[in-house]
Amino acid sequence: MRDKKDSHVRLLSFKDDQPEMLRGSLIPRSVREKQKSPTFKKAAMATIKVVAPVAAVAVMAFVAVSSYGLVAAKQQVATPTVTIIDQDTTKTVTLSYGPQAAFSQEKFFNETREAFIEKSISFIEVDFETKMVRHFKDGVLTISAPVLSFGQEGSWFDAPSGLYEVESNEKRDFSSLAQVYFPYAITFEGNYAIHGVPEYPDGSPVKEDFVAGGIRIANTDAEKLHQLTTLGTPVLVYKKAVKKDHFVYAAEVMDVSAPHYLVADIDSGTMLAASDLRIGVPIASVTKLMTAVVTAEKLDLDSRIQVGSPNFVESLIPRLQDRNSASLYSLLQLLLVESSNEAAEVIAGEYGRSEFIKEMNTKAKQIGMLESNFVDPSGLGNGNTSTLADLFRLTQYIHINRNFIFEITAKEKLTGVRDTGEFSDLANFNEVDEMNNFVGGKIGETTAAGQTSISLHEVSIQGSKRTVAIILLGSTGRDADVRTLMTFVEEQYRR
């Protein structure tokens, strides 16, 4: 049945198809599961101190270890504290669970790893560079397994460098999106997983061209890792920072009707034209790009959730009024393609609305959006503000780490995903009239923000295929401004 493209038979994971009637059943599942887990009750990590020159961050140390994870001996704190000493200045940096750019620095990662070993901590190490997964029990190496394949770059399975903790450990986990079973699946940060060789429902292994899934190791290694791993186990992930693209333009500034605009090569970071990059203004539904990032990194996109049309927001095309549940992936499509405010609120409500908004602001700080603020997941509030520079950082982060988000905005079929979503005939609000080089982006519009947008376009520059990002804030004619700026790029640089 799985090879028939016209088949309407679709399997659901058992856990997503079961009604739950229990105390706390109205609490969002992601929060409820944390409440049931012993790791939720403990402080996440002990204080960590690092003393070194800024160019070389040195040894980290934990205060104490418990069977459930890491707990401070005297004072429990939610996140580790790192002290970096320069020649003249001492700076304190707070780390949290999740993607961390510092762990893409080999020296920082290695010295963190050595500190874990020195303090006899049990943890998992994922090294993208050597293609190895290692397990340490009480600081002693117990498993060293080669990686057969990593999650596709830019997909929600693609784990960036960072510090995480194991959230689930399933002997056989079914993916409704990929329609396969993942044996011995160890999941961390919602969508990242280490697992054995995926299997189709009939028990046969996946074909060689199967690209969905996370960090794949041999079944024998995956079984051993499954047996040794407990909830709350720290996971250290190392992946070298992306090498800078050195493609160079001869920049030139021009005027456009929007008061705030930016045109830049997304891979090299070269600014082709821009107004003041650091003026903070409302951004409207461009906010939903951050909503999508947090959704992909904090929630299980393969799950189904309870839905209901929130009565305090409206969408141009209401689609949730008569539904009881929907897949999170389908809601993400509504959020990005039709800019559904309903979908934004339902997704945030699944995590816990206030906590979700907090995660949006935390993520902004993690990726360097220091002049941005988010007050809701839809972008309706005037307090959702940012700058051109910050939005370009967000655009680059998504392009490099979560490019499937832009693929959804362009209504492209995602590689490795058989599920096409539950909502048909979606109207794509993001496309630009009279342009066929659009490859992703997001628009927005409110009275306070005017017309806002981030759009990506492929163009040939000096014989090289480039992706150009155009960001507009406060425009009164978004499509016309995009066409004007693209004409400028082509006239100035295409030769």
In our burial notation (b when 16+ CB lie closer than 10 A, e otherwise), range 375-410 reads bbbbbbbeebbbbbbbbbbbbbbbbbbbbbbbbbbb
Taken as a whole, the chain contains a residue count of 495
Q: How many CA atoms lie within 13 A of 283 on its CB side?
A: 31
Supply the pLDDT for residue 399: 95
Cα-to-chain-centroid distance, residue 71 = 27
Q: What is the pLDDT, as a whole number, of residue 66? A: 28
Whether the pLDDT of residue 89 is over 50: the answer is no
Quick one: pLDDT at residue 17? Answer: 53
Task: Look at residue 244 in the predicted model and tell me its pLDDT.
Answer: 67
CB atoms within 10 A of CB 311: 8
In the predicted model, is pLDDT for residue 131 greater than 60?
A: yes
Closest CA to 481 of 260, 249, 278: 260
pLDDT of residue 408: 94
Q: What is the pTM of this model?
A: 0.72
Share of the chain above pLDDT 70, in %: 78
Q: Can you give the pLDDT at residue 174?
A: 93
Closest CA to 288 of 391, 210, 424, 143: 391
Torsions phi, psi of 311, nearest 5?
A: -85, 0
Query: What is the average pLDDT score of the chain?
Result: 81
Strands (E), 120-179: 123-127, 132-137, 140-149, 162-175
pLDDT tens profile 437-465: 999 999 999 999 999 999 999 998 888 89
In this predicted structure, the answer to whether residue 330 has a pLDDT above a threshold of 90 is yes
The kind and range of the H/E element at 291 are helix 287-298
Distance CA 325, CA 491 (A): 50
Residue with more model confidence, 423 or 93: 423
CA distance 357 to 315: 20
Q: Average pLDDT for residues 327-340, to the nearest whole number? A: 94
Examine the pLDDT at 114 and tell me if it is beyond 60: yes
For range 244-256, the mean pLDDT = 62
Span 360-396, pLDDT tens digits: 999 999 898 999 999 999 999 999 999 999 999 999 9
Query: What SS3 class is residue 24?
Result: coil
Q: Residues 242, 243, 249, 252: what is their CA dihedral angle, to the nearest 10 degrees? A: 50
H/E run at residue 397 = helix 388-401
Angle at 319 between CA 317 and CA 324, to 5 degrees: 165
Would you give the DSSP letter of residue 139? Answer: T
495 vs 301, which has greater pLDDT?
A: 301
Lowest-pLDDT choice from 14-28, 94-108, 317-331: 14-28
CB 333 within 8 A of CB 423: yes
pLDDT at 142 over 90: yes
What pLDDT was estimated at residue 15?
Answer: 56
Mean per-residue pLDDT, 246-271: 79
Fold of 28-238: L,D-transpeptidase catalytic domain-like (2.40.440)
Cα 458–chain centre separation: 23
Q: Is the pLDDT of residue 26 over 60?
A: no
Q: E-strand spans in 318-372?
A: 325-327
Contact call for residues 238 and 442 (beta carbons, < 8 A): no
Question: Where does the pLDDT of residue 28 fall: very low under 50, low under 70, confident under 90, or very high at 90 and above?
Answer: very low
Inform me whether the pLDDT recorded for 46 exceeds 50.
Answer: no
Do 170 and 183 contact (CB within 8 A), yes or no? no
Q: Indicate if the pLDDT at residue 90 is higher than 50.
A: no
CA 109/CA 92 separation, integer angstroms: 18
CATH code at 260-414+425-493:
3.40.710.10
Whether pLDDT at 430 is above 70: yes
pLDDT of residue 255: 74
470: helix, coil or strand?
strand
Residue where the block lists tokens 């960001």: 471
Average pLDDT over residues 318-337: 91
Helix or strand or coil: residue 216?
strand
Tokens representing residue 313 in the block: 């927001």
- Quick check: 280 pLDDT over 70? yes
Residue 145 identity: A
Write b or e for each residue in 250-274: b if 16 or more Cβ atoms lie within 10 A of its Cβ, otherwise e.
Answer: eeeeeebebebbbbbbbbeebbbbb
CB-neighbour burial class of residue 295 (10 A; exposed 0-12, middle 13-18, buried 19+) = buried
pLDDT band at 146 (very low <50, low <70, confident <90, very high): very high
Provide the pLDDT confidence category of residue 149 given band limits of 50, 70 and 90: very high
What pLDDT does residue 251 have?
A: 52
User: Distance (Å, rounded) from C-alpha 266 to C-alpha 155?
Assistant: 18
Cα(332)–Cα(338) distance, integer angstroms:
10
Tokens, residue 223: 């079984």
Q: Give pLDDT tens digits for 410-421.
A: 988 777 777 677
Q: What is the pLDDT of residues 210-229, one digit of tens each?
A: 888 999 999 999 999 999 99
Taking residues 470-485, report their average pLDDT: 95
pLDDT, greater one: 377 or 495: 377
pLDDT of residue 214: 93
Query: What is the per-residue pLDDT across 194-215, written as a single tens digit (0 to 9) for each?
Result: 999 999 999 899 988 788 899 9
Helix (H) or strand (E) holding 266: none
d(CA 412, CA 426): 12
Extents of the domains making up the chain = 28-238, 260-414+425-493
Q: Please state the rounded mean pLDDT for residues 249-261.
A: 73
218, 226 Cβ separation under 8 angstroms? no
Q: Token pair for residue 431?
A: 């496309």
Asked whether 120 and 142 are in contact (CB, 8 A), the reply is no
